[in-house]
Amino acid sequence: MPSIADQSILIIGGSSGIGLGVAHLALAQKSRVFISSSNQSRISGAIESLRKLYPDGAIEGFPCDLKSADVESNLEKLLIEVITANNGELLNHVVFTAADSLPIKPLSEVDLYFIRSAGQIRFMAPLLLGKLAPRFIKPSYESSITLTSGTVARKPVLQWPVISGYMSGLEGVTKSLALELKPIRVNLVMPGAVDTELWGKGETRRATVEMMKSMTFQGRVALADEIAEAYIYIMRDTNVNGATLNTDGGEALH
């Protein structure tokens, strides 16, 4: 399978969780890595930890606010900054794992504002990334964009109809972008339960993870580094395109 050594990879959402896991694996394979997050201190902390593990690794970070009404301009600014830092060379891969805290409400309390705000980072930002991508990614079948969904797209959960709708919609967006952006490959990773900061901290996180164990066949919740392997595989397999890759411990079948 092709190597991703010396390839340039932007990970939007790369300062924590699955995105940070992708950064770890990419640096281990000697890729040039750029991470982005809305939080500069989190970026700095992630880079510090990555440099301790990979002192010779090529890693830089840039802030990007995806919650702003100027999300498209912010994404464009980020891509320009990354290309400049990459000595003017176009990117090989872009990974999108960014997400805000999960907006969960009973259906009876959902309104238009809630629907719009819940989808800005999860759905609208990836679609706008697809619009901007051709200017910043090498036009080759070896290049890729990988988006992120979740098993709630296929297995409904109470009080999650809005998130479920956006996660389902990302499958259609992925296939459409694969057509629109060819030869650049566009794929989607659909994780199940993952132990990340998204579930909070301390006892809240522990309780949530314990509850999620019952949703998998293995009786355990995946670690971010395990899910990150799916993104690396997609970058390396130059024949996978328009596909959804499940990594959910059997959760969708439970």
What is the rounded CA–CA span in Å between residue 200 and residue 169?
26
Supply 142's token pair.
């070896």
What is the rounded CA–CA span in Å between residue 145 and residue 133?
9
What is the rounded CA–CA span in Å between residue 90 and residue 74?
18
State the catalytic residue, choosing from 8, 149, 168, 176. Answer: 149
Residue (of 58, 162, 70) closest to 109 by Cα position: 162
What is the rounded CA–CA span in Å between residue 36 and residue 128?
16
Residue (of 138, 146, 142, 133) closest to 237 by Cα position: 142
> Would you say 184 and 137 are in contact if contact means Cβ atoms under 8 Å apart?
yes
149 catalytic per annotation:
yes
Chain Cα centroid distance, residue 84 = 22
What is the rounded CA–CA span in Å between residue 22 and residue 187?
15
The position carrying tokens 């699955």 is 18
Question: Which residues are bridge partners to 11 per DSSP?
Answer: 35, 95
Residues acting as catalytic residues:
149
